Structure 1
Amino acid sequence: MTRINLRPIASPMPVGFFAVAIASVLVGCLQLGLFGDDAHRAVALTILPAFVLQLLVAVLAFGARDVLAATLMGCFSGTWLASGLVLALDPPAGARVLGVLNLVFALFALMMATVAHRKRAMWFVLCVAVPRFSVAALYNLTGADWLAPFSGGLGLLLAAVAMYAAFALMLEDMRGTPVLPVGRRGPAHHAVEGDLAVQLRDLERQAGVRRTL
């Protein structure tokens, strides 16, 4: 006899998206010049909690077997940590190194967007993250001041989309039914709207049942 013990957890994604929103607002305001020229260290210290929160979300998402969410939140977590450290310590060539990091993250977000289109909330966040981190990379690499407002504006747009996704998912989890549209399709839609037969489909291939990865 095979016994499978399920330990359900609440969705960690609202926390992850809220952390994206808060950190994006702070960095965006810095790039828009709303904090002044001497606020880099204060912003760095303020966005460091986003690293902790999103790392926690990544760990919980791996436990919930959501590899897309876990991968995205884990990489966001590392990006916020690196950005916070560079802003706080201001090492030599830090801006150029941060530019390369932002460029690589933009490419990662683009690849993630190609496979996350059925999870629309995540997909929309990724679609805004790609241009936001691309423009931030150009700003860090070239030092062109006219790019800073564009990067900051895209950061605020990313925050708005992430905030909506977090609020919609939180309402859905609290009320047990979709309240605000998040546009799920395919397996993501069936996971919420499907019956028990759909949920148990391919169970024998899931982690904890199959013998190897």
Structure 2
Amino acid sequence: MTRINLRPIASPMPVGFYAVAIASVMVACLQLGLFPAGADRAVALTILPAFVLQLVVGVIAFGARDVVAATLMSCFSGMWLAGALVSGLQPPGGGAVLGVLNLVFALFAVLIASVARPKRALWLVLVTAVPRFAVAGTANLTGLPWLATASGVLGLLLAAVALYAAFALMLEDMRGHEVLPIGRSGPAHRAVEGDLTVQLRDLERHAGVRRTL
């Protein structure tokens, strides 16, 4: 006899979205010139906690069998760590390297967004993140000040969307029902609104249950 034990966990996504918002605000303020000159290393130190928080969120999301959220949060974690290290240590050619990394992450976000539409809160964060990282990467590679400013504005927009998503998900978890509109559809809607039968459907085929990945 095979026995499958299910252990409910709290959703880690509000923490992940709050980390995106806070780190985005710090980087955006730097790009907009709101901090004194030479504040790069200080900003790098303030975004390091986002790396830790989102790594934890990614690990918990893998345990919750949410591969989209886990992949996104883990990669966001890596981006914050890379950005913090390059900004803090300022190695030669770091700006160009960070520019290519930002562009690759923008492409990754497009791919994740293409499959994440039913998870509307996460999808909206991705849709906002794509232009932000694409413009940031272009600014790093070209050194044009107006592109850095545009990236800062887009960073603040990303922070606003992430804050809304985090607050909406946290309210939903506390009240037990949707308070602020999130717009789930398809499997994501059924996962929240459906009964336990929906949750356990095809469980034997899920990663961690089937014999091989």
TM-score, normalised to structure 1's length?
A: 0.97
C-alpha RMSD of the superposition: 0.9
- 1:25 is aligned to 25
- 2:131 is aligned to 131
Q: How does 1:100-179 map to 2 (within 5 A)?
A: 100-179=100-179
- 1:91 is aligned to 91
Letter in 2 for 1:26: M
State the 4+ residue runs in structure 1 displaced beyond 4 angstroms: none
1:146 offset after TM fit, Å?
1.3
- Structure 1, gaps ≥5 residues long: none
Letter in 2 for 1:166: A
Q: In the aligned structure 1, how far is the partner of 2:204 from the partner of 2:94?
A: 49
* Greater CA drift, 16-25 or 171-180: 171-180
Letter in 2 for 1:50: A
Paired residue secondary structure (2:145): coil
- 1:45 is aligned to 45
Q: Deviations over 1:8-52 (max 9, x none)?
A: 110000000000000000000000000022110110000000000
Q: In the aligned structure 2, how far is the partner of 1:169 from the partner of 1:112?
A: 20
Aligned length: 213
- Structure 2, gaps ≥5 residues long: none
Percent of aligned pairs with the same amino acid: 77
* Greater CA drift, 37-46 or 192-201: 192-201
TM-score, normalised to structure 2's length?
A: 0.97
Q: In the aligned structure 2, how far is the partner of 1:202 from the partner of 1:125?
A: 29
- 1:60 is aligned to 60
Paired residue secondary structure (1:207): coil
1:208 offset after TM fit, Å?
4.4
- 2:10 is aligned to 10
